[in-house]
Amino acid sequence: MKGGGFLKRGGVSRPRLVSMTVVGICLLFFLAASVDQLASALIKATSGAIPQERYERLTRINPWNATNWFVLARIYDYLGEYAKARHALQRSLSLNCLYYPAWIEHMWLSMRKGAKSEGPARIARVLDLLNPTDTALHWKILIRMLALNTPWAPQLALNEIRTLLPLDARDRTQLFRIAELILGNPQDLLAFVPDEKQVKAPLLSYLLYARRRPDLALTLWEEMKERGWKNEDLFHTLINGLFRNRKYREAFALWKKTFRNEYRNNLVFNGGFERDFLKYGFAWRVQRRPKGVRRMRFIHFYTAEGRRSFTIECDGEHNPRIMTPYQYIYLEPGQYRLSAFLSTREVTSASGFYLELSGPHFRAISRRFTGDTDWTRVELLVSLKLAGMYRVSLRRDATSKLNRFLGGKVFLDEVTLHRLHE
């Protein structure tokens, strides 16, 4: 081709290269999502001289445009000309003191090696005032602080964490971890975390499950009770967390204190089945419905005492192993009497229902009930030698006998456990 042709041996021709550069710059102007992204794209896509000269010329033509001064500051920062970058940022902020991106860039420059804590701290306060709910910005500042090797960076990082904790519900656990890493002790989190229910509640879970510090969780729980923040969900979290950490004695003491009316004359919680099952802690629980159990429910028309009892109905076509309902109780060594009322209707299996108390190296069972029986009181006198978690349950074992299929109904009511005077 004449005129130098479209291609040269060395690659693209000079006119073509210039046109491609111009088109690329124009595309960057349209594709950049913000002024901040635009400055970065310009610097990375072209040589340093072209955008630098362009924006120096623009600031000379129109020195009253804060955006042009900001972009020029970003270019200077990229090129390592930090004094010029600071000057350009000062010009941008003098023209528009509310220009958010310029304050952010000003903070990055103020964090360079040798900077004093007053500068970044002052700018962080300004950013909080301009846009206090920008979680992405606070995370950027926090990460930058964690990467700095200066004596003032940890305190500013903690300030950002305190700002983020009420805002960022999704990452609170990670924020607790970072704060603990800086503070050096999980106990310091109790005083550090803001006094807000939405933050203190996740801290309770963090101490119980992530840090395995039930002692600190109990301290936090007492504080939350004094503030009136106690509710059923938090209590559920606390009790399950204490179970996870094997703090059964503490959990049972707290449970009895919370439900003190239930324990006036009985160590079994809800022994008469007058309230619905809570299914956690020291309340009645039910196993996932075994194959062959048609339904489990409360009934009012057939009771030994009170207004209702609990019944299990089986289909007569399966051989299930049943342990429902069951309840955990923390017991100290001593003499105890366990009793309950049992009744059956057409129970068609060689392996009948019985009452069981089991615990550390201990098991006691009542006689088995099959066929048809009216309400019958069963009683177990036991002597416990070890303190620990014990379980009261209605049981039925699977059997290999010929008449193994279980049908009919069993009724349970008025389960009591008393400690005998020695």
What are the pLDDT digits (tens) for 361-408?
Answer: 999 999 999 999 999 999 999 999 999 999 999 999 999 888 899 999
For the chain, the 3-state helix, strand and coil shares in percent, each to the nearest 5, are 45, 20, 35
* Mean pLDDT in residue range 149-174: 88
CB atoms within 10 A of CB 303: 20
Q: Residue 23: is its pLDDT beyond 60? A: no
CB atoms within 10 A of CB 167: 16
SS3 254: helix
pLDDT of residue 78: 78
H or E stretch including 324?
A: strand 322-331
- Give me 404's structure tokens: 């193994």
Alpha carbons 112 and 53: distance in angstroms, whole number: 26
pLDDT of residue 83: 81
DSSP 285: B
Q: Do 355 and 376 form a contact (C-beta atoms < 8 A)? A: no
Instruction: Please tell me which residue, 214 or 33, carries the higher pLDDT value.
Output: 214
Q: Do 383 and 335 form a contact (C-beta atoms < 8 A)? A: yes
Cite the beta strand spans of 111-269 per DSSP E: none
pLDDT of residue 50: 61
Helices (H) and strands (E) in the chain, counts: 15, 11
pLDDT band at 117 (very low <50, low <70, confident <90, very high): low
Q: CA dist 204 to 22, 41, 324, Å? A: 58, 45, 31
Q: Residue 268: is its pLDDT beyond 80? A: yes
pLDDT of residue 285: 95
Compute the radius of gyration of the chain from its Cα atoms.
36
Alpha carbons 181 and 53: distance in angstroms, whole number: 46
pLDDT of residue 28: 38
Q: Residue 269: is its pLDDT beyond 50? A: yes
Which range is least confidently modeled, 86-90, 111-115, 119-123? 111-115
Burial of 314 (0-12, 13-18, 19+ CB in 10 A): buried
pLDDT band at 15 (very low <50, low <70, confident <90, very high): very low
Report phi then psi at 330, rounded to 5.
-90, 120
What are the pLDDT digits (tens) for 29-83?
Answer: 443 344 445 555 444 444 444 677 777 787 887 888 888 888 888 888 778 787 8
DSSP 3-53: TT-SEETTEE-HHHHHHHHHHHHHHHHHH-SSHHHHHHHHHHHS-THHHHH
SS3 341: strand
pLDDT of residue 116: 57
pLDDT of residue 97: 74
Of the candidates 345, 349, 348, 338, the residue with the CA atom closest to the CA atom of residue 394: 338
Place of tokens 């990452």: 171
Which range is least confidently modeled, 149-158, 271-280, 338-347, 413-422? 149-158
CB atoms within 10 A of CB 417: 22
**CA torsion angle 132 134 138 144 (round to 10):** -130
Q: Mean of the per-residue pLDDT values for the chain?
A: 84
Report the percent of the chain where pLDDT is more than 90.
56
SS3 103: helix
Q: How many residues does the chain have?
A: 422
* Mean pLDDT in residue range 305-331: 95
Q: Do 365 and 391 form a contact (C-beta atoms < 8 A)? A: no
**Domains, the chain:** 293-419 (2.60.120.260)
pLDDT band at 20 (very low <50, low <70, confident <90, very high): very low
